[in-house]
Amino acid sequence: MSFQELTQDEKLDLLACQEELLNLFKAMGRDITLAINNAGLMDQGTHFHQHFIPREKSDGFWESI
């Protein structure tokens, strides 16, 4: 399934869930990178999904890409 196949209500629910999770991480003092993969964009045969990646200023995340 791709993002485009979600209904408008599902998209709104997803956005509300993202906001809630981001607020929870913020309350814990954590910064987050939110990465979204749509259908087979990144991985063949996969589906729409997202990753919440906890971050720290000197974690080297961008140097590994």
Instruction: Express each pLDDT in 10-54 by its tens digit.
Output: 999 999 999 999 999 999 988 899 988 887 655 666 778 889 998
* Every domain of the chain and the residues it spans: 3-59
Q: Would the pTM count as exceeding 0.75?
A: no
Calpha distance 48→62 (Å, rounded):
23
**Residue from 7, 63, 62, 57 nearest 29 by CA:** 57
Q: Calculate Rg over the CA atoms of the chain.
A: 14
Answer with the residue of higher pLDDT: 8 or 64.
8
Determine how β-strand 31-37 pairs with β-strand 49-55. Answer: antiparallel
